[in-house]
Structure 1
Amino acid sequence: MSPGKRILNSGFPIPQLGFGTWQSAPGEVGTAVYEALKAGYRHLDLALMYVPGFLSPGLAGSSSKFSPSGSITNLHAIISYRNQKEIANGIQKAYKDIPGLKREDLFITSKLWNSQHHPEDVAAALDICLEQIGTEYLDLYLVHWPVAFQRGDLLLPVASSSSSDRGDVLIDDSISMVDTWKAMTELPKQKVRSVGVANHNVHQLENIIKGSGVTPSVNQIERHPHLRSDDLIDYCAEHGIHVTAYSPLGNNVIGDPLVINHPVVKEVAESASKRLGQTVTGANVVIAWAQVGGHSVIPKSVKPSRILDNFKEIVLTEEEIQAVDAIGKDRKRYNIPFCYYKPRWDVNIFDEAVEKIATSRAF
């Protein structure tokens, strides 16, 4: 089945169903992207840097040390998520093996990393990204976080001392997100078709729009039934900002069950299976729910069978949508760098209660 598309405020179409690469390890992600393209995905979500999976089983409680130079002795923290070159290999293999597949058939997203926020660095960062992926242009380039790190070659510059046993990333509050966003909007159109942001709340969106006069095409956010973010969704709809949901299955490494295993999701999957006369999984339900309202969603997996199953699109009834909506009464946000990242980001990004003691504030 070919996924639906929506038109961004830049005039370009974006597929609603995409393939995410967050938390995909080296040696797996290139093959996973290749399998996704074989399955029919045409929307790929990438990034220069994905932070080390929170306090993941490979990192939580580890003896990783942070040196004054900002190097990390547990190299898994960086290597596992700098995966764009491997992804490029998967894409090139797909071009060779999938009849007729061309670059213009794909929608490729990547992201500006936090240490590249200085306005003078934005254009060069895009060039690095294009070289890694092996493409002449991106369909979408996002400001990954509303947080600037210390400028320089280190992707995770770490303070020489910290009150946290996880260490602290060096935050640079002198770099204005408005200035970073202005630099994004001035990137050559032949190199990037649309620009947007990720992990931005209403206040942060208002600041960059007011300060630049330019509205982002996309806001990519953590979104799943436990984190509906209705106010943010409404704001984006009112301002023509397309929403893309990451971690739609409730991916987390803090021990909570995945939302696809929630009793309500299981009940809806069983009901939809009977109604449609085919097997509907919890993942199918949540992916369908995430697209209600015209949003995009980027589930990830490295297992070919799940990659294929996640591409099976279904349409939920209004009653089924409402049932999944009700899960949001038990609100949970999993991606909070102040709480779960190693090194810690000592910054309040989302204004969650657990972030309010952070030293810095995103805006």
Structure 2
Amino acid sequence: MLKKIKITTCLGILSVVFICSGCTSEKMTSKDTNKVSTSVPSVTPAINGKNYKATLATNLKVDATVEASDIKDIPTLQITGKVFDKNKLLNAFLGSKGIKEKKQDGQSSFTVNNKNLTIPEEPGSFNFITPLGDYVKSIVNEGAEVNKFKLKELEFMTKSKATKQVTDMLKTLDITPNMKPKIYALDYNTLKKEQDMLMKDKDYKYFVDLGKTKIKDKWTKDDECYYMLFRIDMNGIPCYDSHYTMQSLDSMVSGSEARVIISKNGIESFDINGLIYNQKNSKINTSHLISMQQAVESLKKKYSNVILKDEMLVTGISIIYLPVITSRGTTSNAGVTLNKQIEMVPCWYFNINLKYSNSEGIVDTMPIEVRINANTGKEIL
């Protein structure tokens, strides 16, 4: 779904991240050698859900919730994209009768009763969609959109029951969720309101007119559904759930997340955002993890040579598994990546909000993330 507001936001985020990676700009200038940063106070590693506050430098502060395991040694894993059992997927989403199969552009598409399951040749993902799921996804994807839905629960099912149903399906497909999902109740009145608002956007309407984006003529209570975002677990550690570009290889690296829409009629959309990974038989030797204090010192060092003219606030600190490409491999004629080598590296992950003034002089916030290798203390770029 293409939205002008999303394009603008994404470009803004990219430019801010570039600036905050150490480049001199109007926002940041080289530090006067006489300036001394505020030292990081000593801290005992926090338990999950605890808060940690500190001032690292002028305009670089921490007021963060800490989510970190008390495990001191987490191995770096050799991983590959998970090969899903095709029959399990077909039985779970389409049943076993009347299925039509089509192979095109490096993927297989299976269809029955307007329901579609797509399985790429490159392992690690799949996508299931129904007509209702398609309508909902044209309106709701992520970010600010889901926050517009204010209902706590829907009448057809409680959140806990919906979560259990989807969690059971994940486990059936050999996908292990980490903790409970983020879950949003999508009521039909707000879905209609958001669709009407989007139709006023010329970019959105352009794709509707082309037939690329489908809209629903009438929304009813039967269309209400839950939207869930599941983080994926590997050996008890949550996997990175987004995407990033490895600067050293100029390659996009996919994290792991499952996005699911469920209505009273069952699963309406099941989308793997990124890839689901499998551990190979071998693994890299385990190294003792650096402490949170050492990771915070690495974060402070990253910004030690610049003056931050805008406020940066660390809001989250966590230990995650981060996929890192060690060899890009080759690409087949069908566009499938072959022989790519990937490791899952333990990482201290920092969520940061940067306050800035936009072109209209309005103060806004941009998200930034910093990833510190939990074995070496070096930033993963």
Give the alignment's TM-score, normalised by structure 1: 0.26
Higher share in strand: 2
Higher share in helix: 1
Q: Which has the larger radius of gyration?
A: 2
